[in-house]
Amino acid sequence: MILIGERINGMFKDIEEAILNRDRSRIEYWAKRQTDKGAHYLDINTGPAVAKEDQPAVMEWLTKVAQSVSPLPCCLDSASPDAIEAGLKVHRGKAIINSTTADEWKMDIYFPMAVRYNAYLIGLTMNEKGVPKSAAERVTLAVELTVGADLHNLPLEDLIIDPLVLPTNVAQDHGPEVIEALRQVKVLTDPPLRTVIGLSNVSQRCAERNLLNRTYMLMCMAAGLDCAIVNMDDELLVDAAAAGEILLNQNIYCDAFLKTFRKR
Amino acid sequence: MTVTIAKEKWAGKVVEMVIGQGPNAIKVGGENTLPFLRFEGEIPNEPVVALEVWDTEPPDWPDVLASAFDGVMGDPVAWAMRCVDYGADLVCLRLAGAHPDNKDASPAEAAATARAVAGAVNIPLMVIGCGIDEKDAEVLPAAGEALAGKNALLGCATINNYKAVTTACVLHGHSVIATSPLDINLAKQLNILINEMDLPINRIAMDPLVGALGYGIEYAYSIMERTRLGALTGDKMLAMPVVCFVGQETWKSREAKTADSDEWGAQAHRAVLWEVITATSLVQAGGSVLVLRHPESMKQLKNHITAMIKEAGGK
């Protein structure tokens, strides 16, 4: 299970302030903290407060600052292709581009970019019509993304499908559809496509968020989830990911499995 | 229509371990593919073969085995030199005399034997205890001290005595053999515990306590395969080279010990084959260091390895 630490995101108040004041220390703090807690990637998102024209510079700065204190690669998270590319240019290691939709004009931008910078690319199972509800519609869009990858020569192992999780209090019926979509995406191709979800979305504005996140992550793992963008401060979530790997026989059991999971 | 050769892209590899020092050092491990599948990965080092030398005359070796060491079995130094003559890659000195029911040899005696053997041969050394955890926790550190700087392979460390054995390896510059009873979970855990004592993973070898042909070899085979697959898929705590004590198991079997018979044929032929087939099977499962007893078995195993490497496209 690949865990992508969600915390360096301008949606959080402290990160937004750090960006506005160009305060390195706050970014460094979260980069280090999430690394220490066992994250495999750091999500980097400039957030809503940064003006569109400033986004490339902010993405570049965040990526550099985060990687100056952490050996981890980043998941460059932005709706602006220019911001993503600015991050890719200074990134060390193999980045994840977060993300493209299944719209053709977006695929024409992001697939070549992923190929050029040898990055992974997250493909969202949505298009300009919005987020579909049923598993079947999600899988149809995953197929379109797969065709896009093939068309642009992105290796299928570099495409990561995100079937889009919505908050359970307002879109409860999406929960099982996403799980079913994961199951079906895994049998679409050989080798199977990788999958990711933005886990914390499932519990937006809900009570007992950590419990909902952990439970949903394990249900998704059983259906074929490979990566999740998560709150690394939730120790029990990381424990659950380690336990899930063991119970799915993805990792060989040993008594210190919680420790070895965090050390990888 | 062309046939595309299916190649696996492995993320991890077996660590490379150096045994011995200077120009006589040998390397094992380092593979990033399954055994002999050179078309999809690197196999920088071939499996190596050790012959056993005991510090005390073995009481129950059958003649077909003992005759190969006629006249030297009471003298570990001469015995070790005979192993070098036979072409062994390593000498595996077994301190059987330290067993409380045997001679109960003291740590100082064990150290003296180890020092004498090391002084007489120019190939790397393995030093194996008597198998009693408490006693090995005393004799192996003594032997390790006597061989300080020789970069030997000391064992076997178990879950009960790994601290003493590992400390000796850290202090005196040796690598350790970590033994677990056909249990991959325990093997991984023991590697973690040893590694946490600041012995790097390229100084840990794994001994899965293999069974001989007909005596549980299939358990060892599948565990060794899972170990190799773990290493190749990036599990660092399973990425160690594997040591197989083939001779020790083979020569316990009825098929190796029973005299010539109409049903089973000639003992000399049958016994050697029992050792060779056990070893070649375990090489297929990913064994890196094969510890044998009979020089004829070693010769045949080495021929097999050479042929397999050639088949796989040479070095």
The Cα diameter of chain B in Å comes to 70
CA A102 to CA A107: how far, in whole Å?
7
Instruction: Provide the pLDDT for residue B313.
Output: 72
Instruction: Provide the pLDDT for residue A158.
Output: 97
Q: What is the ipTM of this complex?
A: 0.84
Interchain contact, A252 vs B234, CB within 8 Å? no
Indicate the burial class of B284 (C-beta count within 10 angstroms; 0-12, 13-18, 19 or more).
Answer: middle
A192: DSSP letter:
P
**Residue B198 — pLDDT band, cuts 50, 70, 90?**
very high
pLDDT at A262 over 60: yes
**Alpha carbon distance, N-terminus to C-terminus of chain A:** 11
Interchain contact, B189 vs A251, CB within 8 Å? no
CA A85 to CA A117: how far, in whole Å?
9
Q: What are A93's two structure tokens? A: 């290691």
Interchain contact, A251 vs B235, CB within 8 Å? yes
pLDDT at B55 over 80: yes
List alpha helices for A91-125, DSSP H. Answer: 104-116
Identity of the residue in B185, B226, B234 whose CB atom sits nearest the CB atom of A254: B185
**Residue B312 — pLDDT band, cuts 50, 70, 90?**
confident
**Residue A69 — pLDDT band, cuts 50, 70, 90?**
very high
Calculate mean pLDDT across residues B163-192.
96
Q: Tell me the per-residue pLDDT of B288-305, one tens digit each, with 9 for 90 and over.
A: 999 999 999 999 999 999
Instruction: Provide the pLDDT for residue B51.
Output: 98
Contacts with B189 from chain A: Cβ below 8 Å: 254-256
Percentage of chain B exceeding pLDDT 70:
99
**Closest CA of chain B from A20, distance in Å:** 40
Q: What are A124's two structure tokens? A: 């969202």
E runs forming strands in A20-158: 41-45, 74-77, 96-100, 120-124
Q: Tell me the per-residue pLDDT of A87-137, one tens digit each, with 9 for 90 and over.
A: 999 999 999 999 999 999 999 999 999 999 999 999 999 999 999 999 999
Instruction: Provide the pLDDT for residue B315.
Output: 52
The pTM score is: 0.90
Contacts with A260 from chain B: Cβ below 8 Å: 188, 192, 237
Interchain contact, A254 vs B226, CB within 8 Å? no
Interchain contact, B189 vs A264, CB within 8 Å? no
What is the average pLDDT score of chain B?
A: 96
CA B144 to CA B148: how far, in whole Å?
6
pLDDT at B180 over 70: yes
Q: Tell me the per-residue pLDDT of A215-244, one tens digit each, with 9 for 90 and over.
A: 999 999 999 999 999 999 999 999 999 999
Calculate mean pLDDT across residues A35-63.
96
Residues 198-227 (B) with a CB less than 8 A from some CB of A: 226
Percentage of chain B exceeding pLDDT 90:
95
CA B257 to CA B33: how far, in whole Å?
37
Q: Tell me the per-residue pLDDT of A167-211, one tens digit each, with 9 for 90 and over.
A: 999 999 999 999 999 999 999 998 899 999 999 999 999 999 999
Contacts of B89 (CB under 8 A, 6+ apart): B26, B48, B49, B50, B123, B124
Q: Tell me the per-residue pLDDT of B224-266, one tens digit each, with 9 for 90 and over.
A: 999 999 999 999 999 999 999 999 999 999 999 999 999 999 9
E runs forming strands in A10-79: 41-45, 74-77
Q: What are A96's two structure tokens? A: 């994840």
CA A223 to CA A215: how far, in whole Å?
13
Interchain contact, A264 vs B236, CB within 8 Å? yes
B68: DSSP letter:
G
Contacts with B184 from chain A: Cβ below 8 Å: 252
Question: Cβ atoms within 10 A of the Cβ of A232, count?
Answer: 21
A160 neighbors A120 (Cβ within 8 angstroms): yes
pLDDT at B314 over 80: no
**Closest CA of chain A from B12, distance in Å:** 12
